[in-house]
Amino acid sequence: MTTTAAPAATAGEAVATGQDALRAAFDAAVAEDTRIEPRDWMPDAYRATLVRQMAQHAHSEIIGMQPEANWITRAPSLRRKAILMAKVQDEAGHGLYLYSATETLGVGRDELLDKLHAGRQRYSSIFNYPTLTWADVGAIGWLVDGAAITNQVPLCRCSYGPYARAMVRICKEESFHQRQGYELLLALSRGTAAQHAMAQDAVNRWWWPSLMMFGPPDDESAHSAQSMAWKIKRHSNDELRQRFVDICVPQAEVLGLTLPDPDLRWNESRGAHDYGEIDWSEFQEVLRGNGPCNEERINRRRAAHDNGAWVREAATAYAAKHGEAQA
Amino acid sequence: MTAQPQSTPAPPPSGTTSGTAPGSVSVAAPRPVRAAAPAALALGDDALVLAQRLGEWAGNAPVLEEDVALTNIALDLLGQARTLLSLVGDEDELAFGREEHEFRNVQLVERPNGDFAETIARQLFFSVHQELLFTALAAGDSALAPLAAKAVKEVAYHRDHAERWTLRLGDGTEESHRRMQDAVDGLWRYTGELFEPLDGLDVDLAGLRAPWLERVTAVLGRATLEVPQGADRTPWAAGAGRQGVHTEAFGRMLAEMQHLHRAHPGASW
């Protein structure tokens, strides 16, 4: 990861006051829960960590359009089609917020997209799973968006201001989509036998990948300790995963659907649900690029970018001729 | 007339599932709606079919801003389609229960997306038409006036978007100019149909032809593009889309759109 030098103004200051004073001011700001802003001094590693996490977050919104867009043309009612279109449109918008927020750290959107296309920056492993039936759209709304919200609500208090503010906007829209996904599944679950079976099958396929969205277990999470010290993260992976499981169990009951885990049960002494072992080898395979759709997703993204090159060139040429603000 | 049950749609879609969909309320429609029904069906089909085409772009646009814009336009059109089709009958029965020959959309909107230039040319031709039509409709007092008054604001945005891209592509690079001119030329013969008379519409569509041509000519001129000299409608199918005659690509598009709904008869979603 390339890191960008601090903005010129603060770099000048650095010479005057010394690196130690700047670091002390940064540490104090984090300790006091004051937001770090783009022009503030920050450690290179803090900047690099944020670029990595925010870019991955932006990329996930963009790649995440694909599994759902897969069903736009086939949605079974006009109301559902409209809801799904609005959702996919919001995801593109979330990608745009997050790229803008990442740009405040001194990297350009084009550079980030190039890294995505070259496979040098990641996106959420969940989007490497296929949407095989209409019910998958509901399962993504309920489970995938639900897991994302559980992860993202604490990010609204993240120490980096632009990221925290982007998350406030995104979480509002996400929770709306999550309710719509739940309602879609509810309609299927209470519909015909075939619809109910479709809903159950989707939940069976999306449950475990959704739990993997919280990342590796705490004792194997490379970035966690530092991110928590910097207040980028507020809770550990396992804490958030547990919170998500505890939220989902009663929701599944209301849906009239089961969760595909024979070890899932309430543990009175912990006041939480015990759940079965996650297949971390599958998780690692997907991260390594060997999930069911990794290749398709990235190829599709590259194709959209490459096929659109002449359009972007036209916009640039037109802007140069006519002094228009560039598209 | 008043004794006729509401659930009989005005134009005859013979393949339309008979009866009222579960949940839809049978209320006697006011007379103006029934009079306007053939037009509502045709204009609703235009919007539905174009929304479906634009929905295919989601995730595939040249820049993220266009993913947002094209989906946004699709969503506006889908909203128009739902309002218009609901004036005629049950929106889902009409969208998912009819066969190709029962659709009344113009052929222009069913043309495949092609490259970005083809999508923009299609959108320019259609949006300029829609803006003129809805402006005229909104000024009248037919059952479609309220819909037109709301939609005209959306359509002005669609037209503006298509216009700006026509300029950028036409007057951009050599390649974009060539592609944009090809797109305009290729779609030109589907534009004449926009001005065929439509039952139940209190707007003289033929009268919109001159202002449409004037506006399109102005945009193409600014974009350094030529106005095609060929015929603006296909000579081989009188009425074409408005009479249920469609192009080959349309059947496949409908098959994709309808398959899930049709696979679960009677299910609600």
Q: Is the CB of B65 inside 8 Å of chain A's CB atoms?
A: yes
Return the minimum-mean-pLDDT range out of A182-191, B162-171, B230-239.
B230-239
Q: Is the CB of B249 inside 8 Å of chain A's CB atoms?
A: no
Buried b (16+ CB within 10 A) or exposed e, A206-221: bbbbbbbbbbbeeeeb
Residue B32 — pLDDT band, cuts 50, 70, 90? Answer: low
Closest chain A CA to residue B164? A315
The mean per-residue pLDDT over the stretch B255-264 comes to 98
A26-298 — its CATH code?
1.20.1260.10
From chain B, the residues in CB contact with A92 under 8 A are: 64, 67-68, 71
Q: Report the share of chain A in percent with pLDDT over 70.
A: 94
From chain A, the residues in CB contact with B167 under 8 A are: 318
pLDDT at B18 over 50: no
> So what's the pLDDT on residue A9?
54
The mean per-residue pLDDT over the stretch A283-293 comes to 94
Gap between the Cα atoms of A78 and B136, Å rounded: 27
* Separation in Å, CA B22 to CA A19, A197, B19, B26, B90: 71, 22, 9, 10, 10
Residue A245 structure tokens: 């499981």
CB-CB contact of B123 with B158 (8 Å) = yes
Gap between the Cα atoms of B139 and B202, Å rounded: 10
Return the minimum-mean-pLDDT range out of A197-201, A213-217, B27-31, B58-62.
B27-31
Phi, psi of A260 (to 5 degrees): -80, 60
From chain B, the residues in CB contact with A66 under 8 A are: 59
Q: Is the CB of B222 inside 8 Å of chain A's CB atoms?
A: no
pLDDT at B167 over 50: yes
Closest chain B CA to residue A62? B59
pTM: 0.90
Q: How many CA atoms lie within 13 A of A135 on its CB side?
A: 23
Could B62 and A65 be called an inter-chain contact, meaning their C-beta atoms sit closer than 8 Å?
no
CA distance B199 to chain A (A): 25
Within-domain flag for B219: yes
> So what's the pLDDT on residue B35?
85
> So what's the pLDDT on residue B29?
47
The residue range of the domain holding B121 is 37-263
Question: What pairs with residue A273 in β-bridges?
Answer: A266
Question: What DSSP state is assigned to residue B155?
Answer: H
Dump pLDDT digits (tens) for B91-128: 999 999 999 999 999 999 999 999 999 999 999 999 99
Could B71 and A89 be called an inter-chain contact, meaning their C-beta atoms sit closer than 8 Å?
yes
Q: Of the candidates A74, A95, A311, which has its C-beta nearest B116's C-beta?
A: A311
Closest chain B CA to residue A80? B269
> So what's the pLDDT on residue A324?
66
Q: Of the candidates B66, B260, B268, which has its C-beta nearest A134's C-beta?
A: B260
| Residue with more model confidence, B23 or A159 | A159
Residue A322 — pLDDT band, cuts 50, 70, 90? Answer: very high
Helix or strand or coil: residue B9? coil
Within-domain flag for B7: no
CATH number at residue B247: 1.20.1260.10
Closest chain A CA to residue B268? A191
Return the minimum-mean-pLDDT range out of A208-222, A247-261, B64-78.
A208-222
Look at the block and give the residue holding tokens 């039936």.
Answer: A133
Could A312 and B173 be called an inter-chain contact, meaning their C-beta atoms sit closer than 8 Å?
no
From chain B, the residues in CB contact with A184 under 8 A are: 269
Buried b (16+ CB within 10 A) or exposed e, B61-98: bbbbebbbbbbbbbbbbbbbbbbbbbbbbbbbbbbbbb
Q: Is the CB of B171 inside 8 Å of chain A's CB atoms?
A: yes
Within-domain flag for B56: yes
Phi, psi of B235 (to 5 degrees): -80, -10
Q: Of the candidates A78, A93, A184, which has its C-beta nearest B78's C-beta?
A: A78
Within-domain flag for B29: no
Query: Mean pLDDT in chain A?
Result: 93
Q: Which of A73, A78, A116, A296 to mutate to test the interface with B (most CBs of B within 10 A)?
A: A78
Where residue B181 falls (left for φ over 0; alpha for ψ -120 to 50; beta otherwise) is alpha
> So what's the pLDDT on residue A224?
86
Dump pLDDT digits (tens) for A34-54: 999 999 999 999 999 999 999
Could B173 and A86 be called an inter-chain contact, meaning their C-beta atoms sit closer than 8 Å?
no
Phi, psi of A70 (to 5 degrees): -55, -25
At A69, the amino acid letter reads: A
CB-CB contact of A210 with A147 (8 Å) = yes
Q: Of the candidates B52, B62, B72, which has its C-beta nearest A308's C-beta?
A: B62
Q: Which of B60, B83, B169 to mutate to test the interface with A (most CBs of A within 10 A)?
A: B60
Within-domain flag for B31: no
Q: Report the share of chain B in percent with pLDDT over 90.
A: 81
The mean per-residue pLDDT over the stretch B70-94 comes to 97
- Whole-angstrom Cα Rg for chain B: 18
Question: What pairs with residue A160 in β-bridges?
Answer: A36
Gap between the Cα atoms of A284 and A220, Å rounded: 12
Within-domain flag for B26: no
pLDDT at A7 over 70: no
CA distance B204 to chain A (A): 30
Helix or strand or coil: residue B200? coil
Question: What pairs with residue B190 in β-bridges?
Answer: none
Q: Of the candidates A62, A85, A304, which has its C-beta nearest B78's C-beta?
A: A85
Q: Of the candidates A73, A81, A304, which has its C-beta nearest B61's C-beta?
A: A304
Could A310 and B179 be called an inter-chain contact, meaning their C-beta atoms sit closer than 8 Å?
yes
Where residue B30 falls (left for φ over 0; alpha for ψ -120 to 50; beta otherwise) is beta
| Residue with more model confidence, B5 or A326 | A326
Could B62 and A313 be called an inter-chain contact, meaning their C-beta atoms sit closer than 8 Å?
no
Q: Is A110 exposed, middle or buried (0-12, 13-18, 19+ CB in 10 A)?
A: exposed
Residue B177 — pLDDT band, cuts 50, 70, 90? Answer: very high
Phi, psi of A191 (to 5 degrees): -90, -145
CA B256 and chain centroid, separation: 18
pLDDT at A8 over 80: no
CB-CB contact of B220 with B15 (8 Å) = no
A309-322 and B145-170 helices cross at what angle (nearest 10)? 80
> So what's the pLDDT on residue A16?
55
Residue A225 — pLDDT band, cuts 50, 70, 90? Answer: confident
The mean per-residue pLDDT over the stretch A5-14 comes to 53
> So what's the pLDDT on residue A182?
97
Phi, psi of A265 (to 5 degrees): -160, 155
Gap between the Cα atoms of B183 and B116, Å rounded: 9
CB-CB contact of B229 with B188 (8 Å) = no
Q: Of the candidates A88, A192, A303, which has its C-beta nearest B264's C-beta?
A: A192
Q: How many domains in chain B?
A: 1
Within-domain flag for B23: no
CA distance B115 to chain A (A): 8
Within-domain flag for B98: yes
Residue B14 — pLDDT band, cuts 50, 70, 90? Answer: very low
pLDDT at A311 over 60: yes
Gap between the Cα atoms of A231 and A15, Å rounded: 27
Closest chain A CA to residue B56? A73
* DSSP run (H or E) holding A67: helix A65-69
Gap between the Cα atoms of A74 and A154, Å rounded: 35
Residue B154 — pLDDT band, cuts 50, 70, 90? Answer: very high
The mean per-residue pLDDT over the stretch A228-233 comes to 94
> So what's the pLDDT on residue A3?
47
Q: Is the CB of B74 inside 8 Å of chain A's CB atoms?
A: yes
Could A93 and B68 be called an inter-chain contact, meaning their C-beta atoms sit closer than 8 Å?
yes
Q: Is the CB of B183 inside 8 Å of chain A's CB atoms?
A: no
Gap between the Cα atoms of A181 and B194, Å rounded: 39
Phi, psi of A274 (to 5 degrees): -80, 145
CA distance A69 to chain B (A): 6
Geometric angle at alpha carbon A35, from A33 and A37, rounded to 5°: 160
Dump pLDDT digits (tens) for A55-73: 999 999 999 999 999 999 9
Phi, psi of B225 (to 5 degrees): -105, 155
